[in-house]
Structure 1
Amino acid sequence: MDKPRIPADAGDQAAAKQSRDLPSRQGRVDEPWTPADVGNWAAAEHLNNPLSNRGGKDEAIGVVGAPAHAGDSRAVRRLAGLLAKRGRKDEAIDLLRAPADAGDRRATRRLAGLLIRQLREDEAIDVLRAPADAGDWSAARQLAELLARRGRKDEAIDLLRAPADAGDRAAARRLAELLANLGRADEAITVLRVPADVGDRPQPSSWPIC
């Protein structure tokens, strides 16, 4: 069956979906179709998954590389993840720096996670500091965990207070645990009462490690 290139390229979402589904349905995951073939980033992302799941990570890198290098932030994060899985962690780190510096919170947390895995914890602290101070609760929790592991528990406690007071239950639990470990049980009990008082607010998701 021929690929429906013309309607897909013209923006027909149904045709684009058919185009990106055909290789995996026919078992032809070794025939990577480029984003130009399927017409949009969503199709490239869909195609990327069967390739990477079947071990064709080099082909997947090729598929997602074009939108990544064109500045698509989601593609950048996906490409960084693929590079990291191939053991090319330094390349992944370099790729994530620009979006992290531009304020992409997900890229920042993935960058920090990669740096931590590479035992570059001082760099990870520097990367997380600005978003944590700016109110990114996930970055604050990630940074607090890193500081606590390095024995800087007072800094971790100070960092967790704002999200805990605002109702972030994950931050409150970790803050209470740190306080209890330091023998400050009364403060820990007070911290744990705050989320109950503010109700069940939606919580930010856990940070990715990449």
Structure 2
Amino acid sequence: MADDRGHDHTRVQEFFGARAADWDSRFPDDGPAYAAAVGEMGLRAGDCVLDAGCGTGRALEPLRSAVGPSGTVLGCDLTPEMLAAARLAGRDRSGRLLLADVARLPLRTGSLDAVFGAGLISHLPQPAENLRELARVVRPGGRLALFHPVGRAALATRQGRQITPDDLRAEPNLRPLLSRSGWRLTSCTDEDDRFLALAVRRRDATESRPV
């Protein structure tokens, strides 16, 4: 398993590392969609929130606006080039950037109020285990937002493929996956111009590993 995980990490780093420099210019109009998704999370001033797989940090500014100066914003990504692009864009002024794997976060159990993940779920090598790790670092009753600036059908068309029945973002698949991982899905929106699944950290969930 460790070897497979290392291979997955290398594949993700190579894919995003090669695209980091021009990532924002490829998707220049996504900013309002990010801000709108963050706005639906119900964040409050003073909250502590993580952008998991933050890439070039496009969610960091709206997250900072949502939690205010008294809040804490963290952005973690596995790809150094993506974090470098975030710093070059000045987005490290909105949150602290961490080179870290969402499969094993350097954060205390229950230390966060919320997690935001844009385009995250399709890149998780072990979705149930990885979502359980996100649940570990979020307090009971905290929130999770899984977002993409286009919906499943539009993304499939963009990538020249068909939607398959095993798509993890399909609500019949996503709901039980989240439930097994310590979350309760509260809403799922899949439209041409966005995908947004919101979930709450279940209070009866067990932690994935001791800290």
Structure ranking higher in helix proportion: 1
TM-score past 0.5 threshold: no
**TM-score, reference length from structure 1:** 0.25
Q: For the pair shown, which has the larger CA radius of gyration, 1 or 2?
A: 1
Higher relative contact order (CA 8 A, sep 6+): 2
Structure ranking higher in strand proportion: 2
**TM-score, reference length from structure 2:** 0.25
